[in-house]
Chain A
């Protein structure tokens, strides 16, 4: 009985989300054709944006993903906003989330500045290149690549394992030179854990790709940061998650400036999105105590896959 109710809940929520997004999408189509006749009052879309990003904020917390990765495919797929502005806005949403979380994580010593600084240097440089590539390419090509990336992220979320405390027998030479290691206390057990990393050159190379993708699609990059820091470089999961969140504040800063200077920022989109995501995250943290995250994670993956397919079809003109 329990499993049936879970499955029903997933299907019902998935159906509701799909119908809501389909309704928004249809309204966007109607608005696009009737905007000259004033299909909606000016505050209609900012208000819908506020409500959708509020729900997105809740799901982002419960699903353990960043706001940016949900924001760009969903808003570009189902709202009348051009992808250029959605990416600019998505970066600012991801940046604000990272700025809000960063100070606390640094003070608790869960985010490691020593680990973040060299990684951020590579990722932020490449994010600039990614933003420039993304803005230079035709929109439909970016949309297709975005759709493919989102579907790839879904597969990554479905298959990637996590390791609380990866086995790092010996720190590699580069991480020893950079003195990337640390100590943290596991809150649940009180255990003091010494950590170090390995495969640093490989990890740093992967951040070239992550930076480019973050800048190109305005996605944020937590979905890729955590697996690389945790599974490739061997940082403990908590350190990886915290450092990844803090890292976004640097990576997204560089790309955000490119979008900002290019003119891809419309305040009427940015502020409702920021407020929505922040309020949603606030509520999400409180719901987290009573909802099973695994269940929500499945729903998030389903919504992301749907948005990914929609982005792909939109890019292909279907």
Chain B
């Protein structure tokens, strides 16, 4: 009985796998974000929007910002990684994407334990987050 209780106190294998990937992804994302920000803020790489002009843009709404700065939405930042400011999007995308990896990692475990309902939930979550990340759901003012 005691053994059973102490076993229950521990997190399940899918929870531990999820936690482990989340932890690594979070650390990698944050480290990359801070390094790329230093590269950007110290002018090691030329930014797309010069630092002394950035304050002209942040008070605009996003539509005007994209229009005046001639930036496209969605994944267009990938093509602009040669600029210091857009380099920061690598870390941001990792932070926003690690959850999808966590879900992908637990699906096989849930299937192995025949936890079909939760495996379905996990797959649906991957699809939902994937749809959000895809940039297909574009809206605006």
Contact = CB atoms under 8 A, between A and B. Distances in A.
A281 interface: no
A270 interface: yes
Contact of A267 (B18, B66, B85): B85
Interface stretch (A57-65, A77-85, A202-210): A77-85
B10 interface: yes
Interface residues of B, number: 71
Contacts of B33: 271, 274
Contacts of B12: 113
Nearest to A184: B9
A7 interface: no
A101 to B, nearest CB: 10
Interface string B107-121: 000000000011001
Contacts of A85: 58, 62, 65
Contacts of A96: 26, 30, 95
Q: Which of B19, B54, B141 is packed against the most chain A CB atoms within 10 Å?
A: B19
The main secondary structure of chain A at its interface with chain B is helix
B110 to A, nearest CB: 9
Contacts of B25: 99
A249 B97 CA distance: 10
A84 B62 contact: yes
B52 A92 contact: no
B57 A266 contact: yes
A25 interface: no
A121 B131 CA distance: 13
A215 to B, nearest CB: 10
Contacts of B93: 260
B44 interface: no
Interface string A69-95: 000000000001111110000001001
Nearest to B72: A263
B92 A103 contact: no
Interface string B86-117: 00110011011111100000100000000001
Contacts of B55: 31, 35, 40, 42, 45, 80
Contacts of B11: 106-109, 113
Given A42-B54, A107-B11, A135 B89 contact: no
A197 to B, nearest CB: 16
A258 interface: yes
A254 interface: yes
Interface string A106-144: 111100011001101100110010001001101100000
A270 B137 contact: no
B124 to A, nearest CB: 6
A21 interface: no
B97 to A, nearest CB: 8
B26 A262 contact: no
B31 interface: no
B66 A263 contact: yes
A82 B141 CA distance: 13
B35 to A, nearest CB: 11
Interface in A230-262: 249-250, 253-258, 260-262
A178 interface: yes
Interface in B1-43: 5, 8-12, 14-16, 18-20, 22-23, 25-26, 29-30, 33-34, 37, 40-41
A94 B137 CA distance: 22
B81 to A, nearest CB: 12
A1 interface: no
Nearest to A87: B62
Contacts of B20: 103
Nearest to B2: A192
16 contacts: A45-B58, A80-B59, A81-B59, A82-B61, A84-B62, A92-B95, A99-B26, A109-B15, A118-B121, A128-B128, A128-B137, A138-B141, A258-B139, A260-B89, A260-B93, A262-B73
The 10 A-B residue pairs with the shortest CB-CB distance in the complex, in nearest-first order: A103-B23, A267-B88, A106-B19, A257-B132, A99-B26, A84-B62, A261-B135, A183-B8, A271-B37, A109-B11
